[in-house]
Amino acid sequence: MSEEIDSSDMEYAVFAVRHQPTLLAVARNLCGRNASDCEGLVHDVLLRALLKWDMLQSWSEPERRAWLVRVLHTVFMDQCRSQKPAAPPPITLANVHALLAEPDAPAPGLWEHITEADLREAIATLPYPLRRTFELHSQGLHHAEIGRQLGAPEGTVGTWLFQARFRLRERLRGMAEQPRKQASA
């Protein structure tokens, strides 16, 4: 019986060595060029193949290869789902100046005069597509997802976001400069 186990182990080793380069190539396509991620993914798949070796031995070579690639893809997708991105911080007075920053922007002290109500009021004055685009982007959605929700092309979403930021910056700058103008008068 020990010869039978050794024979099976040897068959698995030959199988794993033969398919490892193919699995690494597929993993590189999925993971990018991060070698440790690719190797870890391939290791997980080959471990699953070892655990299912009794079943896989009876399959043809194309069926085994298809099973390996399918499992590799499934493991990769499971890893992606488990790595949820951190939610972006909500737009508040503390970070609004960062969203509206531009190279020739006035000093951050200017924005100290803006209240949360001023920010809400400025956002409410935006036309619907600009306002909704700005709100969805501030919730962390990417241009493609915003476009799907609003029924607009990705490029249009980028333009709307640019216009929303520009209009908000101009409106809020005017509100922020009023107290300075009144103090100097």
CATH number of the domain to which 173 belongs:
1.10.10.10
Mean pLDDT of the chain: 80
Domain of residue 38 covers: 2-82
Residue 138: the pLDDT is 85
Domains held by the chain: number = 2
Structural contact between residues 82 and 59, judged by C-beta atoms closer than 8 angstroms: no
Question: Do 114 and 162 belong together in one domain?
Answer: yes
Question: Do 111 and 71 belong together in one domain?
Answer: no
d(CA 157, CA 152): 7
Higher pLDDT, 32 or 68: 68
CATH number of the domain to which 76 belongs:
1.10.1740
d(CA 88, CA 111): 21
77: its two tokens: 């997708």
| pLDDT tens sequence across 72-97 | 888 888 887 777 666 666 666 666 65
| pLDDT tens sequence across 101-117 | 554 555 556 666 677 88
Higher pLDDT, 178 or 45: 45
d(CA 62, CA 13): 17
Q: Is residue 39 in a domain? A: yes
Distances (CA, A) of 150 to 111, 141, 158: 31, 12, 12
